[in-house]
Amino acid sequence: MKSHYYLVATPESLIASHLGPVEFGNYLAVGTKKNLRAQSVYFEIDPAKVNLPLDYVKEKLVPYENGEPKRSVYLSIYRVFEAIPLEALKNLYLATDDGKVLEIQATDYVAKSKKDIHLYQQYNPFSTMVASKLNPPEFIQYLTDGSRPVAVPKLFFVELQLNQLANDPTLPIQNLPYRNPAHLRECLIKLNETSQRLTKTVLRERHSELPYRTIEDGFFIGERDHYLFYPFPGQEELESTHFAWWRSALVQHF
């Protein structure tokens, strides 16, 4: 059986598996008996570009006695993202809580619109939601700058929708499905009024799964000047090419 290797963000881990990317996402989301319900965000990685414990994989990644493929062998659960080079990352996958999987390929980043303020949900190395005047490449450079006292080696995050609040935080929030819109607006106003401040924490820790419909441009992972961008499909593409996944993403099943 073919071996696959996955860098999982939810929670952070490096996993070997006989399952292909779609089957692996279904397994992460609902388990083997369909009694789990959880989103999952993960990359497939190129094993030729990563230093893997191949002897351990050969020993542990073997089919079950009944011939079924081995679903998961954990290879690491600590500081995994910083150890995996960006060159090893292949496609990104988003699994809904009932196991539907969306595959996204990396591409060049081109902003959809000009924004004064961005909203970022970070996945790794922490799960803070942050408003920032920095665009995604600038945000990566800022937080991975080792010369600063507060910095990280690598950053993985997604940009979220602010709609018209991105340029005027006093406007109506409309249909943004955030739990505490008054707090969000207050953070945006404070950031907008402070010329020297570049970021403002909105939530110190994510307390629930991310509504996929709040995603703006897409996902970013990077370090200093080097980053990868995984674009989230537009509404038309979601409703046509990825309709089953999109319908699942709009509904919580637990």
| Residue numbers of the chain with a pLDDT score lower than 50 | 254
pLDDT score recorded for residue 33: 62
**Same domain for 230 and 129:** yes
pLDDT score recorded for residue 172: 87
Q: Report yes or no: 22 and 7 within 8 Å, Cβ to Cβ.
A: no
Q: What is the DSSP letter of 66?
A: T
**Same domain for 225 and 163:** yes
pLDDT score recorded for residue 183: 93
Inside any domain, residue 109: no
Which residue, of 52, 82, 104, is where some domain finishes? Answer: 104
Q: Report yes or no: 9 and 123 within 8 Å, Cβ to Cβ.
A: yes
Which residue, of 45, 74, 104, is where some domain finishes? Answer: 104
What's the burial of 137, exposed, middle or buried (CB within 10 Å: 0-12/13-18/19+)?
middle
**Same domain for 86 and 134:** no
pLDDT score recorded for residue 27: 94
Q: What is the DSSP letter of 68?
A: P
**Same domain for 166 and 70:** no
pLDDT score recorded for residue 252: 65
pLDDT tens per residue, range 149-193: 989 999 999 999 999 999 999 998 877 888 888 999 999 999 999
Residue 8, both tokens: 């999982």
> DSSP for 31-66?
TTTT-----EEEEEE-GGGS---HHHHHHH----TT
Inside any domain, residue 36: yes
Domain count, the chain: 2
pLDDT score recorded for residue 221: 98
**Same domain for 97 and 39:** yes
- The alpha-helical segments, DSSP class H, found in 95-197 are 136-143, 181-193
Residue ranges making up the domain that contains 26: 4-104
Inside any domain, residue 229: yes
Inside any domain, residue 57: yes
Q: Rounded to two decimals, what is the model's pTM?
A: 0.94
- What gap in Å lies between CA 20 and CA 24, rounded to an integer? 6
**Same domain for 142 and 49:** no
**Same domain for 128 and 39:** no
Inside any domain, residue 246: no
For 87, 140, 221, 223, 235, the CA distances from 144, given in Å and listed in that order, are: 17, 6, 11, 6, 32
In this structure, which amino acid lies at residue 88?
A
- What gap in Å lies between CA 245 and CA 98, rounded to an integer? 10
Inside any domain, residue 113: no
**Same domain for 23 and 123:** no
At a CB cut-off of 8 Å and minimum separation 6, what does 108 contact? 229
